[in-house]
Structure 1
Amino acid sequence: MNLPDRSAQFSQQIESMFGAIAPRYDLLNRVLSFGQDIYWRKKAIDSLAPLKECCYLDVATGTADLALEIAKRRHCKVYGVDFCTPMLNLGMQKVKRKHREKTISLVAGCGEALPFGDDLFDGTCIAFGLRNFSSPENGLKEMMRILRPKGRMVVLEFSMPENMLLKWIYKSYFDIILPVFGRFVSRHESAYKYLPESVSQFPQREGFTQMMELAGFKQVSFQNLTFGIVTLYTGVKSG
């Protein structure tokens, strides 16, 4: 599956959109996913290699929910990077409230040009962010670059259920209910219209694992979560 061509303005539009919905982003995540987003993040962390004295990178960290959960469950050093300042500011506030300043560092930066050197992290993850990149392929290559040999990458991304009945139910919710409710709560005209459109255009399951392999990842696999509405992908850097 080929990704649509994206203009140079795409990243600016995405940054502006997430900046506008940032104050209500966490609330909408809980409500619109019926709380499943918590379960999805825990499954992602379960897939990270449990190493002692390790260092993880959360790409497109947003409000730092995943980074906070990693630090809580793994007792390790976590870096989070995001290009949206309002989201990152909210994440920093949450890190301070939970007294995690010593274990979590949030950095402003682009996932397609990560502000880190080569071979630095034992693991990296990204939750529902890669399809928002102007070039997801470059994002994958960057995560490969910053991983140490044998380091693991974990990706969470939305997908369509494979069961036809579930697919119809989910698509009805995704295309009709979610945009209306999301617009009402976020007060943003197009953010939750963009979500189903971006999911439908992004490679899923075997299509995305092929992208991972082209970026150089080995031992690539995927797992359906919550009837297939989310897919968890893993890959390892050879070494």
Structure 2
Amino acid sequence: MSTKNTSQFNMYGYKDLVTNVFNKIYPVIAKQVIEYTEIKKGVCLDIGSGTGDLGVEIAKLTNMTVYLMDISLDGKNIANEKIKNENLVNRVIPIVGDVHNIPFNNNSIDLIVSRSSYRFWKDKTKAFKEIYRVLRKGGKAYIGKGYGNEILKEEIEKTMFKINPQKWYPGKKEMNLEEFKEYFYKALEENQIGKYDFISNKSGNWLVIEKE
């Protein structure tokens, strides 16, 4: 979720939105990530994890150790509560960290996930350099924005329109696949990342990188 300046982002307000509006998407996305990447063991890093929802769902579906990394201390504190409630304290670890300076050793992460935080990365080239650095050979990164499926997307849009009609108005233009690709191409090329693919459907767009 967030790599925004923490003074500008209300993580507790976001927690309420996740609990009341977005909560259904994370189990669906987690399942999609695991099915597509076929990675079920090792170490997972959720970048811009926000309140920790995607990483927690991945932990519930796998035997992975999952690190929830967000720049917000509030995000870490909220995630801690969630981890305790899910009895995952032995496998899910929330940390404060920045995608531009990931606090992990080279070749140490099997799976990286990130939903929606890429929009807040100040330097995509540096961010992808860090992502590629910490991935193990054969490790994968699953980065983008999505709602799980079209039905969930429509439900969320209707609910959010009632909450914030100025931002979630009907017919709102979203980034199409070509725009999504263009958004990342330069950073991929500058880091000489050659093995990647794009996933696109009516519920969202994702970039999947594999470290060679």
Measured in 2, the distance between the counterparts of 1:38 and 1:27 equals 18
The root-mean-square deviation of aligned C-alpha atoms, in Å, is 3.4
SS at match of 1:79: strand
Residues 8-23 of structure 1 aligned to structure 2 (within 5 Å): 11-12=4-5, 15-18=6-9, 20=10, 22-23=11-12
Query: What is the CA-CA distance between 1:76 and the residue it aligns to?
Result: 1.4
Question: In the alignment, is the contact (CA less than 8 A) between 1:112 and 1:138 conserved in 2?
Answer: yes
Return the TM-score normalized by structure 1.
Answer: 0.70
Residues 121-160 of structure 1 aligned to structure 2 (within 5 Å): 121-157=109-145
Q: Which runs of 5+ in 1 are unaligned?
A: 1-9, 160-165, 184-189
Query: What is the CA-CA distance between 1:110 and the residue it aligns to?
Result: 0.9
1:232 lines up with 2:206 in the alignment: yes
Amino acid at match of 2:179: Q
Q: 1:210 aligns with which of 174, 177, 185?
A: 185
Per-residue displacement from partner, 1:113-165 (whole Å, max 9, x unpaired)?
Answer: 11111111111111110111112222121111111112111112259xxxxxx
Q: Which residue of 1 aligns with 2:85?
A: 97
1:220 lines up with 2:208 in the alignment: no
Q: Which residue of 1 aligns with 2:46?
A: 58
1:74 lines up with 2:62 in the alignment: yes
Measured in 2, the distance between the counterparts of 1:96 and 1:59 equals 20
Return the TM-score normalized by structure 2.
Answer: 0.77
Q: Which runs of 5+ in 2 are unaligned?
A: none
| Structure 1 ranges of 4+ moved more than 3 A | 29-38, 177-180
Q: Which residue of 1 aligns with 2:103?
A: 115
Measured in 1, the distance between the counterparts of 2:65 and 2:25 equals 26
Identity %: 18
**Aligned residue pairs, count:** 200
Query: What is the CA-CA distance between 1:31 and the residue it aligns to?
Result: 5.2
Per-residue displacement from partner, 1:18-65 (whole Å, max 9, x unpaired)?
Answer: 3x2x2232442465559445423432233333254x111111111111
Amino acid at match of 2:199: Q
